Amino acid sequence: MTPPTEPGVTVVVVAGGDPPTPEEIARLPAKPVVVAADHGLDHAVAAGLTVAVAIGDMDSVSPEALITAEQSGTRIERHPPDKDQTDLELALELAARLADRVIVIGAGGGRLDHLIGNLNVLASPQWSGVDIEAWLGNAQAVVVHGHRVLEVMPGDTVSLFALGGPARVTTTGLNWSLNDEVLEPLTSRGVSNQATTPSPGIAVSEGVVLAVIP
């Protein structure tokens, strides 16, 4: 199966962490293009998603899921186990070539080191031209390169983290606003802000910010 490459495509990347919840599956766009990262193929098959591409070293996917995927026309991209990139990073690399928006599900749970690595990979500058977000159970992590509008309501908590270095940030619709100010990494200044209007905006002119909605 060859994924589409036309503008406006949303790609859903299914990672191999916690299985996506029924609520997350119900929120996905209709007939999404799905890329599964290794064991994420098991999660995608169990959720009834049609997978366009499964990618990774395939060291943790079940034989049953592989057979089901191959029979349904899924393209399998195998990589050697001795590699420098995680399976999720490989999946994001592929998804970023296909999409304007990438939704990652199944990236939470499991090993803490995987979760930390996954969140850092999401914010890589190599995907700066793509809107990327991760759904983590009841939480959401939105990567901001440039400008993003957050899908939250007044009273919702929003925490902002500069990743990889300082970020110059302007916010609208948050209780404690930033006006072209530098948010430093390794500090807690951006933790537990609060939306005052629907759909607050985050603008980043330098660096990258991870907006976490717990």
User: For position 108, which CATH number holds?
Assistant: 3.40.50.10240
Residues 8 and 114 in one domain: yes
Q: Which residues constitute the domain of residue 84? A: 1-137
Residues 130 and 176 in one domain: no
Residues 119 and 152 in one domain: no
Residues 194 and 178 in one domain: yes
CATH number at residue 210: 2.60.120.320
The pLDDT value recorded for residue 114 is 79
Q: Minimal CA–CA distance to 209: which of 177, 188, 192, 184?
A: 184
Residue 4 predicted with pLDDT over 50: no
Residues 33 and 65 in one domain: yes
Residues 120 and 149 in one domain: no
Residues 128 and 166 in one domain: no
Torsion angles phi and psi, residue 175, rounded to 5: -60, -45
The pLDDT value recorded for residue 73 is 94
Write the pLDDT tens digit of every residue in 108-131.
Answer: 876 788 788 888 899 999 999 999
Residues 60 and 2 in one domain: yes
The pLDDT value recorded for residue 52 is 96
Sign, Cα dihedral of 122, 13, 128, 59: positive
Residues 177 and 199 in one domain: yes
Residues 48 and 151 in one domain: no
* Over residues 85-99, mean pLDDT: 92
Q: What mean pLDDT, rounded, does the chain reach? A: 91
Q: How many domains does the chain have?
A: 2
The pLDDT value recorded for residue 163 is 93
For residue 165 the two structure tokens come to 């270095």
Residue 161 near residue 193, CB atoms below 8 Å? no
Residues 185 and 200 in one domain: yes
Boundary-marking domain end, from 76, 108, 137 = 137
pTM of the model: 0.90
Residue 6 predicted with pLDDT over 60: no
Q: Minimal CA–CA distance to 58: which of 31, 74, 72?
A: 74
